């Protein structure tokens, strides 16, 4: 796939993640115990008859981990390099019920067939419009479906990043980053009509892990 010219924030984000995909795949999980607990909590909400969507799936580890517990997983990421690594990992793992494809959240159109669960892990702090993203995710869910998110909410302790992030983005050091607090995310979810069923602020509180249900 030809390299996109990095002229817009979205283009720069794609370029950033394509460039860092191989290094990202080699990097160990920052806190394995926390990651495993997130997997465990999520699986409490999964069933063998479920169709699941993961948005921003990266190199595919989480989608592959959940695949044995559901009927099918669609997993998307806007980085072609990430998707290439994810497909290879699925092949090695023998995860035949996972389909990886290159797509962004805005490319996903709600249809008559909706998902029983949508996962967006380390995503909502990277999208340009958090409320619009949550509204689209709600539309992708079947009534009664669950939305699982893990989001860096660094507004409490790192508000100064608002001044630094745009410069770092232009230099290619960071992906686009939105600075907000955990309560801002909670308000966005409830305003979109979600009922929060599991709420866990991990570690020092920078990451909010939420399971929310669509009525």
pLDDT of residue 171: 45
Is the pLDDT assigned to residue 167 strictly greater than 90? no
Hey, what domains does the chain have and what are their CATH numbers?
9-213 (3.40.50.150)
| pLDDT tens sequence across 49-68 | 999 999 999 999 999 999 99
Say how far apart CA 174 and CA 91 lie, in whole Å.
Answer: 30
Label the pairing between strands 141-152 and 115-121: parallel
Say how far apart CA 161 and CA 149 lie, in whole Å.
Answer: 22
Residue predicted with more confidence, 179 or 47 = 47
Is the pLDDT assigned to residue 168 strictly greater than 70? no
Strand partners, 28: none
| pLDDT tens sequence across 152-166 | 998 776 544 454 545
Here the tokens at position 206 are: 């920078």
On whether the CB atoms of residues 47 and 70 are closer than 8 A, the answer is: yes
Alpha helix locations (H) across the chain? 9-26, 32-43, 61-66, 80-93, 130-140, 161-170, 182-191
Average pLDDT for residues 160-177, to the nearest whole number? 52
pLDDT of residue 210: 98
pLDDT of residue 1: 37
Average pLDDT for residues 165-173, to the nearest whole number? 48
Report pTM. 0.87
Residue 8 — very low, low, confident or very high, per pLDDT cuts 50/70/90?
low
| pLDDT tens sequence across 123-161 | 999 998 999 999 999 999 999 999 999 999 987 765 444
């Amino acid at each position: 796939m030809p390299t996109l010219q990095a002229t817009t924030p979205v283009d720069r984000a794609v370029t950033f993640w394509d460039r860092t995909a191989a290094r990202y795949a080699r990097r160990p999980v920052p806190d394995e115990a926390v990651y495993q607990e997130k997997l465990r909590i999520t699986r409490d909400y999964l069933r063998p008859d479920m169709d699941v969507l993961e948005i921003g799936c990266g190199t595919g580890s989480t989608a592959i981990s959940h695949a044995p517990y559901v009927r099918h997983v669609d997993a998307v990421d806007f980085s072609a390099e990430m998707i290439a690594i994810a497909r290879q990992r699925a092949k090695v793992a023998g995860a035949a019920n996972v389909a990886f494809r290159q797509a962004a959240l805005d490319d996903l159109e709600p249809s008559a067939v909706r998902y029983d669960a949508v996962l967006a892990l380390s995503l909502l702090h990277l999208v340009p419009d958090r409320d619009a993203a949550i509204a689209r995710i709600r539309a992708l869910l079947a009534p009664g479906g669950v939305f699982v998110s893990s989001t860096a909410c660094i507004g409490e302790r790192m508000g100064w990043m608002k001044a630094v992030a745009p410069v770092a983005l232009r230099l290619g050091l960071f992906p686009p980053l939105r600075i907000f607090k955990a309560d801002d995310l909670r308000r966005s979810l409830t305003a979109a009509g979600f009922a929060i069923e599991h709420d866990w602020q991990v570690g020092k509180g920078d990451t909010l892990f939420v399971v929310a249900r669509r009525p």
